[in-house]
């Protein structure tokens, strides 16, 4: 049996160090246990017993306040809250940083428990990819999912494998978790559009809910990769927020053209010599088609930079007459 309960003597996962966990303020004696599940079979037994709505927050772990805000949204809206922690190999290319990706399971579980999450699915790669998984797309075997027309641009320009891996693992997790609602953060705007398109095209019986980008006090978008940043890199990484902010100011003044908005953003990044610009994009919020001008549907202004070896992405939603706003509909 591979089910465990955080907050009870039955927690028996040998891979998690719980020293000091039960004395933590996050783990009061009267708190509801967080049940940790490691296999599809065990989770499905639990899911069959659940009544009402189920909110699902998929993650790769190394959680921050942005993840917890999504859990809070799910808690407010749904009867049961389920999360997952799985570092998905299909999202990484052979040259990328999967081995360096932070694994902070003990802390992650404590954080999920603090926000009232009921269940967390923590599978291994063999459980999620029964046919096996390698990082080289050309050598992969098994079933994979592609969302054509929304995966090739923006982040897809730089990471052409990425959304194939995202769509595949998200569909697997949806099929396992069987949620009525799934919660994603706007910081990964293109991912939100890809998941919404996949859910619509494949007639998935759930609602995709988008939560706002959560930011540090200085504006830096919260991200699991921020932990890679040295103090110097973190300071330099603010360039992307400053660039998007400068373009938003120009947009708010009535300038809607692509050329002017991207030039403003590009110039702002150019003033920070410690970062390398990868791209800026001005895209339609549903189709992700690149726009010559922001229209009545608004636009996603997004970009990516690299500081030292760390990539940072961010985006603003541009909408006439409104500040940076959520702009996603099914």
**Contacting residues for 288 by C-beta, under 8 A, at least 6 apart:** 149, 150, 153, 154, 190, 193, 300
How far apart, in whole angstroms, are the C-alpha atoms of residue 111 and residue 117?
9
Among 164, 157, 165, which Cα is nearest to 89's? 165
Find tokens 């694994």 and name the residue. 103
How large is the C-alpha radius of gyration of the chain? 20
* Catalytic residue, candidates 38, 64, 67, 284: 67
67 included as an active-site residue = yes
N-terminal to C-terminal alpha carbon distance within the chain: 39
Which amino acids are annotated catalytic? 67
């Amino acid at each position: 049996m591979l089910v465990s309960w955080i907050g009870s003597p039955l927690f028996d996962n040998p891979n998690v160090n719980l020293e000091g966990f039960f004395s933590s303020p996050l783990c009061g004696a009267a708190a509801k246990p967080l049940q940790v599940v490691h296999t599809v079979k065990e989770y499905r037994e639990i899911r069959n017993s659940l009544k009402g709505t189920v909110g699902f927050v998929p993650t790769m772990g190394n959680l921050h306040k942005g993840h917890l805000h999504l859990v809070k949204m799910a808690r407010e809206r749904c009867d049961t809250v389920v999360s997952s922690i799985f570092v998905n190999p299909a999202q990484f290319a052979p040259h990328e940083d999967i081995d360096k990706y932070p694994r902070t399971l003990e802390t992650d579980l404590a954080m999920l428990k603090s926000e009232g999450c009921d269940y967390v699915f923590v599978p291994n790669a063999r459980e999620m990819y029964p046919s096996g998984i390698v990082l080289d797309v050309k050598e992969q075997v098994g079933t994979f999912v592609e969302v054509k027309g929304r995966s090739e641009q923006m982040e897809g320009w730089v990471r052409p494998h990425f959304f194939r891996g995202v769509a595949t693992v998200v569909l697997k997790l949806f099929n396992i978790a069987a949620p009525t609602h799934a919660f994603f953060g706007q910081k990964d705007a293109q991912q939100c559009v890809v998941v919404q398109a996949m859910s619509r095209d494949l007639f998935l019986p759930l609602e995709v809910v988008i939560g706002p980008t959560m930011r540090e006090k200085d504006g830096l978008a919260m991200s699991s990769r921020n932990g890679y940043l040295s103090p110097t890199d973190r300071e330099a990484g603010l360039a992307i927020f400053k660039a998007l902010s400068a373009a938003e100011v120009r947009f708010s003044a009535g300038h809607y053209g692509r050329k002017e908005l991207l030039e403003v953003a590009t110039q702002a990044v150019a003033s920070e010599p410690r970062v390398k610009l990868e791209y800026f994009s001005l895209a339609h919020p549903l189709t992700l088609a690149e726009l010559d001008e922001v229209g009545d549907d608004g636009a996603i202004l997004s970009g990516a930079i690299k500081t030292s070896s760390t990539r940072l992405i961010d985006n603003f939603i541009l909408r006439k007459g409104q500040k940076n706003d959520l702009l996603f509909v099914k």
